[in-house]
Chains A and B, each alone.
Chain A
């Protein structure tokens, strides 16, 4: 990463590893040599340096051996001590009391991890951040990241360029995950029926029931997890299942459908993992697949996809394919992927299968599908195009689609000769893939039948997110011993006997497989902030060797996996690189689709009048796990631009039929508050009321119910936001539900929408064209350009002899995924203002993503009758940070010179000079300035202080702020360069948004250097500046978006 030379980056993890390693040994000695010789313990403790002191004591206190010793010596006190109430014993065991202080009710023992270095670790220079490689496990994938650490505080997450699953890119979830670490609402210790307990108490409990389970040969012992991609956890569970033959392992992942798994089974008779090679595909058809924004490998796919859309990109080599790829998307509701489509066809979710069948039939695979004539016409040209690119086309089936669709996709890809070319199959990444729905169904049945005595829930929140007809809650009551491990004390925790606070992935050792099977080690950056534990520890607690630490289990597994060679060396390299070298799965050979579409049951024609409800994970809170993350809650959802709420999405036509409308509130207005109608949704024998949102481009008759909201126990930020779609989600209709009714309640609900006006009003803001137009006239973006020539100016130009920082944003590559927005929030200490303030139009994001619809005369109000223009408009996204104008209108009007121009062309904002007249904001044509109307920053919460980036001023009330081009990064690079007495290299400065962008749409650099990437981009004919006629001369310029429509269909 930037600002980090290979050597230190190489060095530090080793140090880290060595460090924690001999600690483990040290404490073992302590315990074995002098059983409970506290004097000796204290002596040992004092002999250690500050950081170790803390960690050791903590581990010492939590260490099972230690507690066993206590039990042997004085059982009574020991057990009293477990209650952690007896003050006399506390005094006796004062060394331990330090560590247990947190347990006696005080939750905010945060200082414990900011004790100063008594002995400064090697490779650590105070004030200079270090970067550590690790991975963020997410479902059946793991995103490789480099985490920026300031004096031991992880503050910012960057992508790991060496990691196959993302090649250095990150998404909004990854960027925001660091906030989860410092979330003050996290569960902070073990509890039993809500009472605070010690970890040792839990261990005793676990061991006790383990004994029973062993006796019962495992009968009645169940484990419930989400999708597991961690080899060590897999091994542990397998070991447990071996130990307790009759125990069972159930899995439930609420937001991932079984379609993909079962589809594989249908096609190949076995579970497979499909890996796409998007960069190899010239034509891509997405069957309701949002493969650029969600699902395993989406970051990798996004990078590859957009590398095929760079046109005359700065470096020819970056264009992998000979030509720009073409994307067809068939989907029921507009997705990030759909917004990049060259041709997009809105179809009801249930019609997707028909479409796939029809396509299969067209390709001569038999079977047949019923389609509307228009769709049929569309299909014909798509089929032609796919065949034309035989072997270099790709058909992707959506995560939420049925097994049949996936099977059809497999068959079609096989028929198109894409297997091995644009995609390949591997062993499943998730260990022990099962049909989650059936697995959960079985568990619920057994719980109901009283066959379950002990249930261990690892990470999930089943009470909240399981199908309502399973009635998990009441069944959970029948389980004698229920244990839940989760980061928050959530809806499920209330109903469990034991709750164990789960460690964040930045706090604990672990491992995970990426979408292609590559194994990576999860390396902690910080000792647990609270008394939290990992799934490994909980599983170990029920096993025959409860003492095993995360560190050991991960290391041992890796050792057994790689017996040969110098393991230490290997281990260090692994930690350093963030991946275990060449562990990616090899493509499965000799696998071919035996699937015959004709074998599918006859298509039942869907009643066109009937409403179709579909469930989708929310783009911001996913399945609900990010509900308490303020950054994500305040993040405008890519397509709807809603924040803080989910809403039932309907198409303009459907809205008209149902009599649903929006009205723009007087306060906040288009840039803040939209009043929507509240509807009652009666579906699958349940009901919920939700706010309705009218979404252009959605298939008519489809109602989208985004999951993840309506949490009842998510924490301060996430509780009671939006509506709970799980409430109407039945096992019979997990993804697509028919037969539901919608009725207007007559009530209204205010939604916080950051951009309601999606019409460009014919202004030169976002210019777009087709590949054809572009080839005819590469400068099409400049047609009707009114930008005055520099010579026209009355004033003499200011010269920028040194660096001239500039940015180029390729609108061809932006799909509005929001990664840059969260990255910017994280890098620049941008506050969360809350729904009320967003509704007043006061959100603080320094970079926003504007969404515009392109359709002949789109009216701005989707609730009007002229919705045909909005039935399927082209969607374009435009990231808008500060444009850093050379003739900055904001600067001229500032009465106190709080915003002035730097010698390198930056539009500097001097916070402590600003008096807050807001004149600059009024005069900013791009409206990128953000004002602290109130004291938006949280100055009290200690955890959040740890989160802040020390290199960026934390702004308080009454001052203006805005994008600085990450000036702190510029200066870091400058210092490095000056130390080495050389100019700053191109690419040495990477702004937060640029670093995060998976599509490489944002490029920053020195515009004065003709060889810099940014200069080359700006030299392109596609390059233009927003509202050039104002002659503000922005340093941030844009490359016009170019779509690659199928000429035939254009004619059609």
Chain B
């Protein structure tokens, strides 16, 4: 993937689109980006979008209230399908989060300049996705008010969590992931918050941004420690992001359920996560650069690189699908063999075919630069891939459970209105948070853009 790219100033890159359009100074980037937050008035589109998503959040609230009142029985789950939409959505959201961390951490370590203009909102996306994901493990339990049992606190009975359970690993992985992403994001924000503090004319904004900026003044000593802290965070976030989805995949691979119990899961889940994550970044970046004419900063180069990452991870995922079949037939485990045959011939095979179409066939278009540089195509494709990745989790979580060891207990699953409402609600929450984010915080890291300006001006000399 992008690791192998030649450095920015090598001749062949010249032919590629630049990561920032020429002619920008420290002042202009600062103005352009901070204006979105400080001066520019909220557009009608913003209000419209915000209202819609806010309404969806209300739907979420209602469905959660009803869930608490009645119990998880309002969902489509049953015996033997103990996990349904809730877990599917959980895995999907967590996966989406991963691209943010990946862009900000791994690409940072790999010193990829093009990450600069997208990492900020990619990280925001991570946070919001993790927030959406975090809802599900809590509410999918039969007694959510008892969920604190899953945390290690000294209880009067002297009982502790059961650390052999992947669900406990989840608790730690996801909370760590959430915390570290937040820190990473916030640390990145400090200099920009200072900028906003110093540029805003309104007193209240000055006070709020001032508090958040914690008195940052860009001192060289501060910058030195700041940089090593940021570098370390990046270094820590990289293994973390890989571990988180591996742990999520353990929820399945540790279990003995046919279709779950396989060692391919960790890498295949991580790849899938990055895949869906980049798709989501595109889904957000494309409208964003249009709405706030940030084409100068989020250039064709970014879109194309992300497309390439999607292509690469998409192929890894395809390899994962293939291996499911290979492994089952190679191992000859009759339960697995039966299950993968069910994927093709079972009552849910149309889900599987749809998933192959979305995740494997469609992305092959990305081999062509024409497609990679065609914004509408990319946008549609990013959405298709998001759908495909949701289907993948549905196939893994639900369909495996419909056909396990005891044929006498085989059943089927169909989601209820409440399942759909809850899912739609979290999508609403996610987008609403993004709407708020672009209005109150710089969607692109100003400080890093200045660096970029400095470097590019070097080259122009």
Q: Is there any pair of Cβ atoms, one from A and one from B, under 8 angstroms apart in the complex?
A: yes
The reply on B345 being an interface residue by CB < 8 A is no
- The stretch that binds B, out of A144-152, A233-241, A669-677, is A669-677
10 A-B pairs, CB-CB below 8 angstroms? Answer: A664-B412, A666-B412, A671-B80, A852-B408, A916-B143, A919-B82, A927-B409, A957-B73, A957-B142, A958-B142
Of B74, B82, B171, the most chain A CB neighbours within 10 A belong to: B82
Whether A895 contacts B71 by the Cβ 8 Å rule is no
The reply on B167 being an interface residue by CB < 8 A is yes
0/1 string, B317-350, CB within 8 A of A gives 1:
0000000000000000011001000000001000
Checking A842, A925, A1026 against B79 with a beta-carbon cut-off of 8 angstroms, the contacting residue is: A842
Checking A665, A897, A926 against B405 with a beta-carbon cut-off of 8 angstroms, the contacting residue is: A926
Whether B71 contacts A934 by the Cβ 8 Å rule is yes
Known: A664-B347, A762-B334. A669 touches B411 (CB 8 A): yes
- Which 9 A-B residue pairs are closest in the complex by CB-CB distance? A916-B142, A669-B412, A958-B142, A933-B73, A918-B82, A934-B73, A671-B411, A927-B409, A841-B78
Whether A921 contacts B161 by the Cβ 8 Å rule is no
Whether A919 contacts B167 by the Cβ 8 Å rule is yes
The reply on A894 being an interface residue by CB < 8 A is yes
Distance in Å: Cβ of A962 to nearest Cβ of chain B: 11
Whether B165 contacts A893 by the Cβ 8 Å rule is yes
Known: A925-B405, A926-B405. A915 touches B141 (CB 8 A): yes
The reply on B256 being an interface residue by CB < 8 A is yes
Whether A895 contacts B256 by the Cβ 8 Å rule is no
The reply on B392 being an interface residue by CB < 8 A is no
Closest to B400 in A: A922
Closest to A760 in B: B407
Whether B150 contacts A915 by the Cβ 8 Å rule is yes
* Distance in angstroms between the alpha carbons of A914 and B149 in the assembled complex: 9
* Distance in angstroms between the alpha carbons of A915 and B83 in the assembled complex: 14
Contacts of B101 in A (CB 8 A): none
* Distance in angstroms between the alpha carbons of A640 and B147 in the assembled complex: 41
Interface residues of B in 138-153 (CB under 8 A from A): 140-144, 146-147, 149-150
* Distance in angstroms between the alpha carbons of A939 and B28 in the assembled complex: 70
Distance in Å: Cβ of A769 to nearest Cβ of chain B: 20
0/1 string, A823-859, CB within 8 A of B gives 1:
0000000000000010011100000101110000000
Interface residues of B in 58-88 (CB under 8 A from A): 70-74, 76-83
Whether B255 contacts A913 by the Cβ 8 Å rule is no
Distance in Å: Cβ of B404 to nearest Cβ of chain A: 7
Contacts of B80 in A (CB 8 A): 671, 841, 921-922, 927
The reply on A931 being an interface residue by CB < 8 A is yes
Interface residues of B in 251-294 (CB under 8 A from A): 251, 254-257
Checking A896, A959, A1027 against B162 with a beta-carbon cut-off of 8 angstroms, the contacting residue is: A896
Interface residues of B in 102-148 (CB under 8 A from A): 140-144, 146-147
The reply on A477 being an interface residue by CB < 8 A is no
The reply on B164 being an interface residue by CB < 8 A is yes
Contacts of A878 in B (CB 8 A): 408
* Distance in angstroms between the alpha carbons of A50 and B143 in the assembled complex: 42
Contacts of B81 in A (CB 8 A): 841
The reply on B353 being an interface residue by CB < 8 A is no
Whether A667 contacts B412 by the Cβ 8 Å rule is yes
The reply on A971 being an interface residue by CB < 8 A is no
Closest to A666 in B: B414
Checking B141, B161, B335, B408 against A755 with a beta-carbon cut-off of 8 angstroms, the contacting residue is: B408
The reply on B386 being an interface residue by CB < 8 A is no
Closest to A923 in B: B255
Known: A669-B402, A672-B78. A935 touches B71 (CB 8 A): yes
Contacts of B298 in A (CB 8 A): none
Whether B150 contacts A930 by the Cβ 8 Å rule is no
- Which bracket fits the contact residues of A? 35 or more
* Distance in angstroms between the alpha carbons of A889 and B256 in the assembled complex: 8
* Distance in angstroms between the alpha carbons of A760 and B160 in the assembled complex: 40
The reply on B410 being an interface residue by CB < 8 A is yes
The reply on A941 being an interface residue by CB < 8 A is no
Checking B144, B149, B257, B401 against A913 with a beta-carbon cut-off of 8 angstroms, the contacting residue is: B149
Distance in Å: Cβ of A85 to nearest Cβ of chain B: 43
Contacts of B149 in A (CB 8 A): 895-896, 913, 915
Closest to A786 in B: B334
Closest to A667 in B: B414
Contacts of A755 in B (CB 8 A): 408-409
* Distance in angstroms between the alpha carbons of A1029 and B62 in the assembled complex: 46
0/1 string, A589-629, CB within 8 A of B gives 1:
00000000000000000000000000000000000000000
Of A759, A850, A927, the most chain B CB neighbours within 10 A belong to: A927
* Distance in angstroms between the alpha carbons of A324 and B186 in the assembled complex: 80
Contacts of A850 in B (CB 8 A): 406, 408
Checking A761, A880, A959, A1027 against B143 with a beta-carbon cut-off of 8 angstroms, the contacting residue is: A959
Given contacts A850-B406, A957-B143, 18 further A-B contacts (CB under 8 A): A666-B412, A671-B79, A762-B334, A763-B407, A765-B406, A840-B78, A841-B78, A841-B80, A841-B81, A892-B164, A895-B161, A895-B165, A913-B159, A919-B165, A919-B251, A919-B255, A934-B73, A1030-B405
Whether B73 contacts A842 by the Cβ 8 Å rule is yes
The reply on B166 being an interface residue by CB < 8 A is yes
* Distance in angstroms between the alpha carbons of A919 and B80 in the assembled complex: 11
Known: A889-B256, A919-B165. A672 touches B411 (CB 8 A): yes
Known: A667-B76, A841-B80. A897 touches B408 (CB 8 A): no
0/1 string, A871-882, CB within 8 A of B gives 1:
000000010100
Whether A916 contacts B409 by the Cβ 8 Å rule is no
Whether A896 contacts B150 by the Cβ 8 Å rule is yes
Whether A759 contacts B407 by the Cβ 8 Å rule is yes
* Distance in angstroms between the alpha carbons of A933 and B75 in the assembled complex: 9
The reply on A668 being an interface residue by CB < 8 A is yes
Contacts of B168 in A (CB 8 A): 895
Known: A842-B73, A896-B161, A896-B162. A915 touches B401 (CB 8 A): no
